[in-house]
Each structure stands twice: as structure tokens, then as C-alpha cells.
Amino acid sequence: MTLNLMKNNITTLSFLLMCALVSGQDWNGIPIPTNPPIDMEWELQASSDDFNYTSSASPKSSEFLEKWDDYYHNAWSGPGLTIWSRTKSLVENSTLQIPATRLNAANISTGCITSRETIIYPAYVEVYAKVMNSTLASDVWLLSPDDTQEIDILEAYGDVNPTRDPINVWFGERIHLSHHVFIRQPFADWQPTTPDTWYYDGTIWKDGYHRFGVYWRDPLHLEYYIDGVLAKTTSGMEQIDPLHHTNTVNPGDTSNDTRTGLNKAMDIIINVEDQTWRSNQGLTPTNTELANTDDHTFKVDWIRVYKAVDPLSVEDENAKSIRMFPNPVLNSLQIESNSRLKSVSIYNLNGVLIKIERLTETINTIDLSELANGLYILKFQKDDSISFYKKIIKEAN
């Protein structure tokens, strides 16, 4: 081989390697199973991770630390018998791995990681993960930094060993599709308990990788997708928060409805845990089971995070700071903003002012029931000099 030819080959090889590095996001070609809200587009977020790098358990690599902290989002060490450790997460074989081992006679040592960036609706978050062959929980979830709102993307206990209590097999064949709303003081936790929160389609989840995704469309609407197929929809205030836990004024006060639903930005958390309600039933791994490290390592091949953005307002930070739902709207429209606004003016497509509403809070509800169906332009006035626009579709009653 001449020197030039060799150089060419090396150049070609480097080029191919570079292509593999930059274009190799694992989810390329896998369609997002749901459309964003009307007139919006999915935008991939920086918290997405294909874990196609390596990181030791300690110290973590810079690629890992760019996106994740290797602990829970506060100092809590985990539920029940769980003790989380920063050294119980690593990236190997292009996969995030969270092992669980015996810490002492009572406790289990395992890991938890939290995204650096929060996500807020409208958003689609999906993981490609292998549920552990364990009674422990394999978890991917969203949680507001103040621990009051939670969306579970994947919660599963993959062990289907029939020599345990028969209930073990029942749980092992299911994926828990749930969300929580909490009051912290005094502590109260609500989650739906309808049968459809325990998804079953005959799959033995521990046997392979599957895709688990949630479309968080707005504070009152969640769609759960498994392997790209809609598995459950949770929609409406009574399904999201029947006990008024998200009341802004007096949480839990059912006589004064100021509920917001799931309206807070959330951290992404990936972890393994031993849950008290399960270990209380004897559903906690034995020493022999824990000694099988492959069974007791939660593996996540990738996570992708999309936020729905309005392509017409991508340059306008003010418009980006407004969230409106539902869109299309039937009667009342909820408008949430990061800062106080003065008013919203509603124009039809001929530029005729239909209605003007003063906005007094950062969360406002306006009545649009009298509008004819069609597309409207909303002009938001922030102060005397700053205004910006968004679109809304009105549906017929």
C-alpha cells in the first residue's frame, strides 16, 4: 500500500467513525408515536441521551455529568429498604446501568440519577429500557423539584418467579401507568387506582428491551405509549386531581377549586428502588437473587425528550414563556405564564377584535365559549411596550 493510499484509507476511516459518532442517535428512524399540539413541532431537548459513551461509576465522565447528576434531586436516600449511592450508576456497552446489591442485612444499595434540565408540557419523553428480572422497581419518572407533581413513565417489577406469592407473577407481567399529586404538609399522596393503571398485554417485560413513553400534552392530559402504541390515556381534572391536591390557594380544599393539574416543570429521574408496600408483602430480593448481577441491573439504552414548540414563535422568548391549554379549546382556556401579564386580546383572522381580557395572575382562565369555531390570534400585552402573539383553535360546542 502506498503512503497516499494508506492516508486516504485512514481519512475515510476517520470520516466513517465521525459519522457514526454524530449521526448515531439510537432512536433515529423510530417515529414519535404522537403528534404535537396543533401548529407546533417537536424539538429534541438536550436532556436526551443515547448513552453511547462510557462512564465509570466513580468518577463519572464529563459526557454523563453534562446531562445528569448521579443522585436523587434532593438528599433523600430512597424509599423503604433502599439506600441510593452515587457509585451505583455507570454507562457501559452504550447503555445506562443501575445495579442493585446487598448493603447489609436489611438494606439494598442501588442508584438514582436526575436530569440537569427540567421539562414541561407539551412534551414527549420516551425510554428504551429493559425491566430487571427482580422484585425491585425499575423506574423512569418525572417529578417537580418541590415533590408535589409526578408522572411515571416506567414503573415495573419484572420478576415472574412462580415460587413466590402468586401476586408476584401478576405484578411481573404488568407495567404501572400512573401519576401522583402530593401535598407535602401534612403529607398526602393521590394516584389513580383504576385497573387500567396496570397495563397487561401478555409481554414478559424482563425478557427484552421495550419503549416506554409519555405524552404530557397539558396539565390535564397524559398519554402513555408502550412500543409506540397508545396504552392508556389519563384526561380531565377528575382523573388528574380529584382531591384538589394541586389547589394553588389551599391544597386539598374541595370547597375551593383552584386546581392546576400537572403544571410544573419536572426533573427526569431514572432509578431502582425497593418499595415499602412490596417488601411488606415479602416482595424483596433474596441474597441469592441479588447475587445475580445481570438480573439486578436496570438497563436503559436511550432516553429521548421532546418539547413541542411553536415554529412561528421560536425567536420570541416572551411567547415561549406562555402555555395555553387545551388547544383546540371548547369553553375555558387556561393561560399560564412565567411572569405577570396585563391583558390578552383575541382577534379573528380578519383582524377584528373579538374580546379583551385583563390578566391578573400568572395562571388565568378565560371563557371562550361564545366564540364561533375557527382559528384566532391572541395578542398578549406584557407592558406598554412589549406584546406578542399566539394562536388558538376554537372548537364548536
* Residues forming the active site: 150, 155
Radius of gyration of the chain (CA): 24
Q: In angstroms, give the least distance from the CB of 50 to Ca ion.
A: 4
- The set of cell numbers assigned to 347 is 382577534
**Least distance in angstroms from the C-beta of 155 to Ca ion:** 22
> Taking the C-alpha atoms of 301, 211, 324 and 387 in order, what is their torsion angle to the nearest 10 degrees?
30
Q: Is 14 helix (H, G, I), strand (E, B) or coil?
A: helix
DSSP characters over 267-329: EEEEEEE--HHHHTTT-S--HHHHT-TTTTEEEEEEEEEEEEE-GGGTT-HHHHTEEEESSSB
Distances in Å between the alpha carbon of 179 and those of 189, 224, 236, 297? 10, 11, 13, 25
Residue 185: all three cell numbers together = 404538609
Mind giving me the DSSP string for 205-227? GGGS-EEEEEEEEETTEEEEEET
Q: Which helix (H) or strand (E) holds 239?
A: helix 237-240
Q: To the nearest whole angstrom, how small is the minimum distance from the Cβ of residue 287 to Ca ion?
A: 31
Q: Which is nearer to Ca ion, 28 or 163 (CB)?
A: 28
CB of 296 to Ca ion, least distance (A): 20
Taking each continuous run of H as one helix and of E as one strand, the counts in the chain are 7, 27
For residue 48, what are the CA distances in angstroms to 31, 128, 311, 337? 15, 12, 20, 25
Indicate the residue among 73 and 130 with the shorter CB distance to Ca ion: 130
Cβ-contact 97, 297 below 8 angstroms: yes
Report CA-CA distances (Å) from 245 to 118, 144, 257, 353. 22, 14, 10, 37
Cβ closer to Ca ion: 51 or 157? 51
Minimal CB distance residue for Ca ion: 94
Give the binding site for Ca ion (CB under 5 A).
26, 50-52, 94, 301-302
Question: Residue 289: what residue type?
Answer: E
Tell me how far, at minimum, the Cβ of 212 lies from Ca ion, in Å.
Answer: 15
CA dist 140 and 270 (Å) reads 4
Which residue has cell 390515556? 233
Q: What is the DSSP string of 17-72?
A: HHHHHHH--TTTT---SSPPSTT-EEEE-TT-B---S-B-SSSPPHHHHHHEESS-
